Amino acid sequence: MNKDELFRWLLFKIKAVANGSNENEPKLRVVCRLLKNNLPNYDWVGFYMVNTKKENELVLGPFEGEPTEHKTIRFGDGICGQAAEKKETFLVSDVSAESNYLACSVNVKSEIVLPIFKDNNLVGELDIDSHQADAFAKEDQEFLEEVCRLIAPVL
């Protein structure tokens, strides 16, 4: 399977998960696992949710990979906080060049964070770390934006 076929297969699987009858949290776990286990450079895959009880804060949701100390993140802080504040995808090919960055592990070299919207409101983010520099191409971004659209109703 080439990368394009793999992306299409994963979108097919993720659509089935999103439409399935499971509870929401296990659905998000399955999505994390599907991405981490099938894409070699996706070393940490997780969701951050917008905290509905505290303004301008993200809370760690389901994830696959090493535990992180960043269980809550203020809007504006790190890559995740900036993506939440700007409501834009942040693709960082070299995290060591970033001044506003929250290190999760010394092994992480690149990161992509995508906002997730429900009825035009930010409800969460998909965050992926890689141990390889420049791991995320434009194709990865487009694929992950589609993943976010599919999974948004589940958040």
Map residues 12-51 to x or -, x wherever contact with ligand SME holds by CB under 6 A: --------------------------------x-------
Does position 59 interact with ligand SME (CB under 6 A)? The reply is no
Select from 7-15, 79-87, 131-139, 145-153 the region that touches ligand SME (CB under 6 A). 79-87
Judged by CB under 6 A, does residue 64 bind ligand SME?
A: no
- Which amino acid, residue 96? S
Buried b (16+ CB within 10 A) or exposed e, 35-60: bbeebebbbbbbbbbbeeeeeebbbb
Closer residue to ligand SME in complex, CB, 18/130: 130
Return the closest-CA partner of residue 38 out of 68, 67, 62, 14: 14
Interface of this chain with ligand SME, residues 89 to 118, rule: CB under 6 A: 101-102, 104, 111
Could you identify the residue written with the tokens 């509870």?
23
- Size of interface with ligand SME, in residues (CB under 6 A): 14
Assigned token pair, 96: 């060591």
